[in-house]
Amino acid sequence: MYVFAVLMFIFFVSAVYGFIEFYLHQKRVASIPVRIHVNGTRGKSSVTRLIGAALRESGIKTITKVTGTYPRLILDDGSEVAIFRKSDANIIEQLSVVKLAAEKKVQALVVECMAVQPRYQWITEHKMIHSTIGVITNVRLDHVDVMGYSLDEICDSLSSTIPPGKILFTSENVLFDRLKKNSEMKNTKIFRTDEYFVTDDEMNGFNYLEHRENVALVLKVCEHLGISRDVALSGMYKALPDAGALKISVVNSFQKKISFINAFAANDPQSTLAIWEKIKYENKLNGLKIILLNTRQDRLERAKQLSRMVAVNLNNDFDYLILIGHSTEIVEDLSVRNGVKRNKLVNLGWTDPDTVFESIMSLTDKEATVFAIGNMGGMGGKTAEHFENKSLVYD
């Protein structure tokens, strides 16, 4: 009986504490006038960073939180603070971000959706962020084991963060009608942006390969907030790119030139193929064409999809496919069965970045372009950083 009474007391205290914390959180959220929740398959981190930078440039006191390659908190002065986690990522950390934003009395909070499972996406939006502006960058076939095996299912999953009765911006074209239907069900106004809203001259202001559709999306959000185009672009040009942003690191070593294109963060076949076509159209695939595919143990299905894309969609329009990471023997076998010629395959498996560099150097006569895909996790980030560091040394 005594033990039961103690347990009931603990339960009662916990319930009261939880209710008080929930009430205080809602007050904190309401104290932040502009709340922007960024979701989507690709470009979430970049769009979140760019929106935050544009708002800061306009004089709006803003805190930004990204969960891209590495989780970061961007404070109102533009400085970045790493987010250290004792365990796996948990949406509960969004509560701490809101608390900090409220304590600093910011005018805007821009957060990247960190949830993958639809129910957690819904909780993050409807119980934690209560965004005044929603953003869904695009809908791609990714995280199929959690979000659905079709684009329609994934679209519905991402729609969990549509803010009821507010505004949603998206650059999605193929699934726009479904997003519009889902928005109308929530009495939310939806606006679609077009990449041609941005000029070539405006894109030249970035010192890395930013996606035009991301910039167009951010400009439309800023336009809605009354921020001039020039001010918004000025802020975006100053923004630090995410570690997984599309970059080209050029290494000149031993009379050889290696152009390393970091497209690890693209992840899904559709986005990866689009980047390949973009690079090809801009005549940046010079010399030996090498595809570097990084495999993560927990993302093996994604690696299979990408290897299939390389074999089927690229029509062997490359010289070598180098495999690194986990379970590369599975990806190698699948690549061969899908049509990749055995003499074009180099399976390095789990190794170190220096070995990857030396392997590419040994294959290269004078010049090579390395198109790095798959995932920033595992060996991806370390390999990209290795080439970036070498480009700074040898250039």
Handedness of CA 280, 286, 287, 291 (dihedral sign): negative
179 plus 64 within the same structural domain: yes
Tell me, yes or no, whether 13 lies in a domain. Answer: no
Q: Which two tokens stand for residue 78?
A: 């533009």
Q: Which two tokens stand for residue 303?
A: 């690696």
CATH assignment at residue 42: 3.40.1190.10
390 plus 302 within the same structural domain: yes
**DSSP symbol at 193:** -
pLDDT of residue 394 exceeding 70: no
Q: Which of 220, 238, 256 is where one domain is finished?
A: 238
Tell me, yes or no, whether 14 lies in a domain. Answer: no
Please give the tally of structural domains in the chain: 2
Judged by DSSP in three states, 206 sits in: coil
Residue 339 confidence class, pLDDT cut points 50, 70, 90: confident
Q: Which two tokens stand for residue 311?
A: 């074999």
pLDDT of residue 46 exceeding 80: yes
Nearest to 335, CA basis, from 320, 351, 350: 320
Cα distance between the two ends of the chain:
76
Backbone angle region of 284, left / alpha / beta, with phi > 0 → left and psi within -120 to 50 → alpha:
alpha
Rounded-to-integer distance, Cα 249 and Cα 229, Å: 30
253 plus 159 within the same structural domain: no
Mean pLDDT of the chain: 88
- Half-sphere exposure of residue 186: CA atoms within 13 angstroms, side-chain side: 22
Residue 317 confidence class, pLDDT cut points 50, 70, 90: confident
C-beta atoms surrounding 271 within 10 Å = 21
Who contacts 162 (Cβ-Cβ below 8 Å, separation ≥6)?
Answer: 125, 134, 136, 168, 182, 183, 186, 188
Q: Give the residue with greater pLDDT, 7 vs 157.
A: 157
Q: Which of 26-30, 285-289, 372-376 bottoms out in mean pLDDT, i.e. has the lowest?
A: 372-376
111 plus 199 within the same structural domain: yes
263 plus 361 within the same structural domain: yes
Residue 20 confidence class, pLDDT cut points 50, 70, 90: low
Tell me, yes or no, whether 390 lies in a domain. Answer: yes
Tell me, yes or no, whether 8 lies in a domain. Answer: no
89 plus 179 within the same structural domain: yes
Q: Which two tokens stand for residue 25?
A: 């959180």
Question: Could you tell me if 236 and 222 are in contact, meaning their C-beta atoms sit under 8 angstroms apart?
Answer: no
Give CA separation, 184 vs 12, 167, 287, in Å: 41, 11, 50
Tell me, yes or no, whether 21 lies in a domain. Answer: no
Rounded-to-integer distance, Cα 388 and Cα 371, Å: 14
212 plus 255 within the same structural domain: no
Tell me, yes or no, whether 185 lies in a domain. Answer: yes
Give CA separation, 216 vs 55, 71, 149, in Å: 15, 24, 29
327 plus 277 within the same structural domain: yes
Judged by DSSP in three states, 85 sits in: coil
CATH assignment at residue 308: 3.90.190.20
Range of the domain at 149: 29-238
Mean per-residue pLDDT for 196-210? 89
Q: Give the residue with greater pLDDT, 271 vs 53.
A: 53
pLDDT of residue 102 exceeding 90: yes
Q: Which of 197, 221, 238 is where one domain is finished?
A: 238
Q: What pTM, to 2 d.p., does this model score?
A: 0.77
Q: How far is CA 343 from the centre of its chain?
A: 34
Q: Which two tokens stand for residue 2?
A: 């005594």
Strands (E), 155-298: 167-170, 189-192, 247-253, 256-262, 288-295
273 plus 222 within the same structural domain: no
Who contacts 220 (Cβ-Cβ below 8 Å, separation ≥6)?
Answer: 169, 191, 193, 197
Residue 213 confidence class, pLDDT cut points 50, 70, 90: very high
229 plus 259 within the same structural domain: no
Residue 395 confidence class, pLDDT cut points 50, 70, 90: very low
Q: What angle do CA 311, 270, 144 make, to 5 degrees?
A: 100
User: What would the pLDDT profile of 219-255 be if each residue is shown by its tens digit?
Assistant: 999 999 999 999 999 999 999 887 767 788 899 988 9
Backbone angle region of 360, left / alpha / beta, with phi > 0 → left and psi within -120 to 50 → alpha:
alpha
